[in-house]
Amino acid sequence: MYDGMTNPGRNDACWCGSGKKYKKCHLDQDERLEELAEAGEDVPPRSLLKTAEDIAGIKRSAAVNVGSLDYVAAHIGPGVTTEQIDQWVYDYCKQHDAIPADLNYEGFPKSVCTSINEVVCHGIPSPDEVLKEGDIVNVDMSTIKDGYFSDSSRMFCIGDVDPEWKRLVDVTKQSVEAGLATVKPWIHLGDVGAAVNKVATDAGFSVVAEYGGHGIGLEFHEDPFVSFVSEPGTGCILVPGMCFTIEPMVNLGGPDIDMSDPNGWTVRTADRKPTAQWEVQLVVTDDGYELISW
């Protein structure tokens, strides 16, 4: 096969672990993938496709991830420090037998990313960083439970926010919803990114090119990279079992970013205008998608 894996016999158990005979399970899909690969399409290796057991495990992880963000939503407000948010997330994970995936990931020192106003991503929580009226903040949460990874983030408006900043937050969420509405098997991943981009840019905003979504489930970051400056009809073919995030970073001003912070993590807009991000995690199904974390 195109991905180097050996196919089972027609009457042997399917490679996915379903217990069904191969001919009754993934044979037709695998033949279609082989045909697409031979035609020059970019198709994911079957090692990236999540089994029913994998998806069940990822959902258990996502239940903690969503619960953590729900807790943040219920308690965030003016006067809260980003260090407090980090502690809430850490405690919630520990109470649910899970691990914050961010903590010590490639040296990241905290359990969650808190990105305020002009911070595009990877803001590091601090006891000195106090949320105030008018701020917008992204809380990006990732969880490991029983070896499975989940990931999502939300924007929060702190008190009364400038109407244009609020519109930025709302449009960014709408762009994610447009991307989700596009997801179905056998289309190109670039179609999803293009749908996201159109909503953001039609509203007069810009989209960061350097960062995007990613595959996830058995590892924190898997293939494919999910661009939100992509063209329709490009990128890999979506296949049932693919699990990835949609997480555009949308700027009020220009798309350029500044990665010069000495902490080695925090990224800001080059023009210091505000930015917003929402993130969801999904799995492609036979007829569309299932939302897993939000």
* pLDDT tens digit at each of 294 positions of the chain: 999 999 999 999 999 999 999 999 999 999 999 999 999 999 999 999 999 999 999 999 999 999 999 999 999 999 999 999 999 999 999 999 999 999 999 999 999 999 999 999 999 999 999 999 999 999 999 999 999 999 999 999 999 999 999 999 999 999 999 999 999 999 999 999 999 999 999 999 999 999 999 999 999 999 999 999 999 999 999 999 999 999 999 999 999 999 999 999 999 999 999 999 999 999 999 999 999 999
Tokens of 139: 């809380």
Tokens of 159: 């008190």
Q: Is residue 5 included in any domain, yes or no?
A: no
Q: Is residue 271 included in any domain, yes or no?
A: yes
CA 243 – CA 51 distance, rounded (Å): 10
pLDDT of residue 223: 98
How many angstroms separate the Cα of 84 from the Cα of each of 88, 120, 141, 288? 6, 20, 14, 38
Coil, strand, or helix at residue 206? strand
Q: Is residue 2 included in any domain, yes or no?
A: no
Residue 198 structural domain: 46-293
Q: Is residue 25 included in any domain, yes or no?
A: no
CATH number at residue 241: 3.90.230.10
CA 195 – CA 227 distance, rounded (Å): 11
Q: What is the pTM of this model?
A: 0.96
Q: Are 149 and 64 in contact (CB under 8 A)?
A: no
Q: Is residue 174 included in any domain, yes or no?
A: yes
The total domain count for the chain is 1
Q: Is residue 115 included in any domain, yes or no?
A: yes
Q: Is residue 11 included in any domain, yes or no?
A: no
